[in-house]
Amino acid sequence: MRQALQRFEAVCDAPLAYARALKAESGRRIIGVLPMQFPLELAHAAGALPVILQEDREPITVGQSQVFTFYCGYNRSLTDQLMRGEFDCLDAVLFGDHCVQLLATADVIRAHLPNTPILFNQLISSLAAPWAMEETRNTFRQLWSELEELIGRPIAAADAARSIRLYNRDRQLMRAAFDLRREGRLNLTGRQMQLIVKSGMIMDVEAHIALLEEIVGAAAPTPAPETGVRVYLSGHYCQAPKPEILDVIEECGGHIVDDDLYHGFRFISTDMDETLEPVEALARWYLERNLRAPCATLSDERADWDDFLLDAVGKARAQGLIILQVKYCEPHMYYYPEIKEAFDQRAIPHLLIETEHEQMPLEALKTRVETFLEIARRRAA
């Protein structure tokens, strides 16, 4: 298990270096994908390596002039990577509109990489609308056609079905790791769980599956004694929380038992129906995924994020909720008051931590987390 985690860490530390190496070795195209809604399956069926573009840890310097300073750290980091030449290995970029900042970032990429195709596919945001299913089908048909044009050949339905089976298996193994950790049978830190999911956004899916099978196979037969305050993490669309934040929560006595982070349960929440035609499976996956992990960027009368969190915290037997909110993330900022009101009404301890690309004062954060965990511990008692 240790070697598998080390491999995941190496990939997460240098995702584009991994992509370049695989491209040089295999000749596969690299398709950069912007979060959060597009599946990786079709790009894989086209013979490409789909890579969800990640925030890196470098200070934002040359890219600062290209976007507003009030854009979130993820978009500013992507722009900086672009200006440093990190995206020159990409053969195409795939994205949709759920955030005006992402739209601007895509425009900057288009301006500086004019020969790199930008595949823009607008997925419907009103998921309960009567026309949602047909609109979603049409969007994925459009993407299918654009990918065929990119690679210069048809994408066989059998190849898409195979990709769907592979990514389902990958998600199932990651969910199994989450379940085993929650049960105390798999000793993984929050940092390590993040590595497992983040590497799945980058790596060749078959290689990722092989390493995940090693990790899941290392689970203990019986649970270890439970320690710490059980904590549920929520928030952080698009980018991974800094591992140091997860470390602080655990060092202060928190036990992270579940989450709805994008680099967590949100990414792996929903499988595709392998019995359906690929386009139908893709469309149903998109529309049903919000029921498993509601998103503030979407409109769906069947699912509220605050209700979901109350239920999820209860199912995880968590003693408190920590909300990680990216600075300048408008969808999350708009929705947070509803979450706060719902948890205040039920007297469930919760803590809001605003994060940013630049280094956070960890000592001040530690004091806040310690106070929160003590409150949660006393209320549970």
Average pLDDT over residues 356-373: 92
pLDDT tens digits, 11-68:
999 999 999 999 999 999 999 999 988 899 999 999 999 999 999 999 999 988 888 8
CB 98 within 8 A of CB 125: yes
| pLDDT confidence of residue 45 | 97
In 53-103, which ranges are E strands?
92-95
For 232, 234, 306, 350, the CA distances from 345, given in Å and listed in that order, are 18, 18, 12, 12
| DSSP designation for 358 | S
Q: Indicate the SS3 state at residue 154.
A: coil
pLDDT tens digits, 67-100:
888 999 999 999 999 999 999 999 999 988 778 8
- pLDDT bracket for residue 240 (50, 70, 90): very high
**pLDDT, the chain, mean:** 94
pTM equals 0.95
For 152, 182, 254, 325, 375, the CA distances from 354, given in Å and listed in that order, are 45, 26, 18, 5, 20
Domains for the chain: give ranges and CATH numbers.
15-151 (3.40.50.11890)
